[in-house]
Amino acid sequence: MAEEVLLFSTWFSIYGRRVEMALKLKGIEYKFIEEDLTNKSPSLLKYNPVHKKVPVLVHNGKPVAESLVILEYIDETWKNHPILPKHPYERANTRFWAKFIDEKCWPAILQACWGKDQKEREKAAEELSKLLQFLENELKGKRFFGGETIGLLDIAANTIGYWLGVFEEAAGVSELLTREKFPKLFNWVNEWLSVSAIKENLPPRDKHVAFMRLNGQGFWNDYNASK
């Protein structure tokens, strides 16, 4: 049967990029459908009626939503270049840190960049530093979170590896992830951004920074409103 893989997303969706990285790493052909989030397509609303959000992967007509769920689905469906470890304990560890990045790091990044005043932003930056320290320790001596090759956790950590820097520049706040403070993470970022499937799959930086300058506050407000 001919495979049909569609990805509904936007050029600036951090979660959509995760899915694209996994698809590209595994050499899966897919069709990218750019959504206008101010005017969502009937297809998106049909495929993700619960959240009406991107990304949604549609494989042979069957929709999968939520980026980490999609990544696990991709790994179970296309077995080449596995992105999850084999052993249950390491898999649990991978899932734990991916959840940590999404639930703890992401809001701290948004608040450090677009918190309502300097005091709030500085407090969030302090919190983010503590969170980064956990990730620094988790990396240990490894080249990637996934070991010698990139895995799901590296893909999830793109939040730190790439998005953090863009947001900091857009918001005009100082860089947190410095070589002095987080040598292992800093090194990881360099390794990460040299992987071709990754570096060729990031939004154009200037465009992204300009976009976030305009929309960053809105992102933080939306996040807050949803909690």
Partner 1 sequence: MAEVKLHGRWYSPFPYRVIWALKLKGISYEYIEEDLSNKSPLLLQYNPVHKKIPVLVHSGKPICESMIIIEYIEEKWPQTPLLPSDPYEKAKARFWVKFVEEKAPAFWSLYRSTGEEQKKALKDSSETLKIVEEQGLGEKKFFGGDSIGIVDIAFGVIAHWFGVFEEIVEVKVLEAHAFPRLHAWKVNFEEVPVIKENLPDRDKMLDYFKKRRIESLSASQ
3-state secondary structure labels for all residues of the chain: CCCCEEEEECCCCHHHHHHHHHHHHCCCCCEEEECCCCCCCHHHHHHCCCCCCCCEEEECCEEEECHHHHHHHHHHHCCCCCCCCCCHHHHHHHHHHHHHHHHHHHHHHHHHHHCCCHHHHHHHHHHHHHHHHHHHHHHCCCCECCECCCCHHHHHCHHHHHHHHHHHHHHCCCCCCCCCCCHHHHHHHHHHHHCHHHHCCCCCHHHHHHHHHHHHHHHHHHHHHCC
Asked if 45 is part of the footprint of partner 1 (rule: CB under 8 A), the reply reads no
Asked if 73 is part of the footprint of partner 1 (rule: CB under 8 A), the reply reads yes
Q: Which stretch binds partner 1 (CB under 8 A): 12-20, 68-76, 105-113, 170-178?
A: 68-76
User: CA nearest 201: which of 209, 188, 192?
Assistant: 192
Q: Which of 76, 175, 200, 222 binds partner 1 (CB under 8 A)?
A: 76
CB of 96 to partner 1, least distance (A): 6
CB of 89 to partner 1, least distance (A): 6
Q: Which of 20, 35, 72, 168 binds partner 1 (CB under 8 A)?
A: 72
Asked if 222 is part of the footprint of partner 1 (rule: CB under 8 A), the reply reads no
Q: Which stretch binds partner 1 (CB under 8 A): 59-67, 149-157, 188-196, 206-214?
A: 59-67
* Count of residues that interact with partner 1, criterion CB under 8 A: 24
Q: Which of 46, 96, 175, 179 binds partner 1 (CB under 8 A)?
A: 96
Asked if 121 is part of the footprint of partner 1 (rule: CB under 8 A), the reply reads no
Asked if 64 is part of the footprint of partner 1 (rule: CB under 8 A), the reply reads yes
Residues that bind partner 1 in the complex, under the rule CB under 8 A: 49-50, 59, 62, 64-66, 68-70, 72-73, 76-77, 88-89, 91-92, 95-96, 99-100, 134, 227
